Amino acid sequence: MNVLVVGGAGYIGSHCVRELTATGHRPVVVDNLVFGHRAAVAEDVPFYSVNLGNESEIGKILRKEKIELVMHFAAYAYVGESVTDPLKYYFNNLASTLHLLRCMIGSGVKKFVFSSTCATYGIPARMPITEDLPQAPINPYGQTKLDVENALKAFAHAYGLSFAAFRYFNAAGAAEDGTIGEDHDPETHLIPLAIAAATGRRPELAVFGNDYPTPDGTCLRDYVHVDDLSRAHIAVFDKLAAPGAGLFYNLGTGTPTSVLEVLRAIETVTGKKVPHTIAPRRAGDPPALYADPAKARHELGWSIKYPGIEAIVATAWKWHEAHPDGFGK
Ligand code: UDP
């Protein structure tokens, strides 16, 4: 299929572009390069640096490239910033997506794969998280993702749009060959920050709280390899053939891992100590978030290639070791 990958120069998008090429599809990238990196996408992949608000340009790309399906990764994803500057998030994550969807529907492109998040669940009533749990986001980031999910349901009903929304848990790791990986500015994620502390590129890591009701007192998260995420996006294609299909899947491994376990895995993989201190809890961090991935496994035949934190960290380390300054610096 000809697949438009919006946000294809970002972390998850760029890995998905590779997976599309590897599985015989034809990716076309749209990325305004606010957070994306041109160097994360192969030179021979068609690339357009356009904002989603530019509907006439996006419409032209859909027609020219004969796009059959759109994957949408472009979003701002700093939870704290979404609280202090919600307008930015409503415009970028919600309004931009509506522009994109209006263009698609106007151009007759009716298959859509959306990057949603476990942040739509807020503080879940039980663990592991199944897709049917109530969604009650506790910050504007999660709310804008849920707003898009709800718009998609209405568009499926009204316009015959077929969509899959993937609720990611903690995307982590890098391409197996170490050539592309995570490069955020500013970086806020645990694994790249802890690796940077281990290599002395940053001062010690602050562990946000060790008094949570968890086995070692630090937060439990579900780290899922970025290539495992990518494979689910392609595994869902067949299901989108039916007009009006509306699908929701949690993408996580189902294994909870604590912050201290992540640090230990980094020490094992790199052979270096991760200097760290215990800091106060970070506002808005639930004690535990992990998926029940059974639905994606059963319905998509999704299997996880990187089930353990050490295997995930090993790929992240390969990337960071070879590219200490990330892309193109
Ligand atoms: N974390 C931490 N120190 C940091 C960054 C993150 O202790 O410098 C913790 C954070 O509190 C959470 C886990 O690591 O429990 C994963 O955080 P991250 O920001 O990577 O992802 P999130 O779970 O917020 O999506």
Within 6 A (CB) of ligand 1 lie 170, 188-190, 193, 205-208, 219, 221, 259, 282, 285
Pocket test for ligand 1, best of 118, 184, 190 (most atoms within 8 A of CB): 190
Of 17, 13, 297, which Cα lies nearest the Cα of 171?
13
pLDDT for the residue numbered 129: 98
Q: What percent of the chain has pLDDT over 70?
A: 100
CB 33 within 8 A of CB 75: no
pLDDT in tens, 246-269: 999 999 999 999 999 999 999 999
**Alpha-carbon gap, residue 208 to 219, rounded angstroms:** 8
Cα of 239 vs centre of ligand 1, distance in Å, is: 34
What is the residue-averaged pLDDT of the chain? Answer: 97
Cα of 251 vs centre of ligand 1, distance in Å, is: 18
Q: Taking 70 as the threshold, does the pLDDT of residue 329 lie above it? A: no
pLDDT in tens, 8-34: 999 999 999 999 999 999 999 999 999
Given the CA of residue 205, which atom of ligand 1 is nearest to it?
A: 8
Q: For residue 71, give the H/E element and its range.
A: strand 69-72
CB 252 within 8 A of CB 290: yes
The structure tokens 């994306």 sit at 36
Pairing of strands 257-258, 220-221: antiparallel
Please state whether the predicted TM-score (pTM) of the whole model is above 0.95.
yes
CB 118 within 8 A of CB 129: yes
pLDDT for the residue numbered 283: 85
164: amino acid identity, one letter: A
The alpha carbons of the chain give a radius of gyration, in whole angstroms, of: 19
**Alpha-carbon gap, residue 149 to 153, rounded angstroms:** 7
pLDDT in tens, 59-83: 999 999 999 999 999 999 999 999 9
Domains, in order of start, for the chain: 2-172+224-251 (3.40.50.720)
Q: What is the DSSP string of 179-202?
A: SS----SS---HHHHHHHHHTTSS
Examine the residue annotation and report whether 141 is marked as an active-site residue of this protein.
yes
Residue 47: DSSP 8-state = E
Cα of 64 vs centre of ligand 1, distance in Å, is: 42
Distances (CA, A) of 254 to 92, 165, 225, 302: 30, 18, 12, 13
Q: What percent of the chain has pLDDT over 90?
A: 97
Average pLDDT of the segment spanning 144-148: 98
User: Which pair of structure tokens corresponds to residue 68?
Assistant: 């059959």
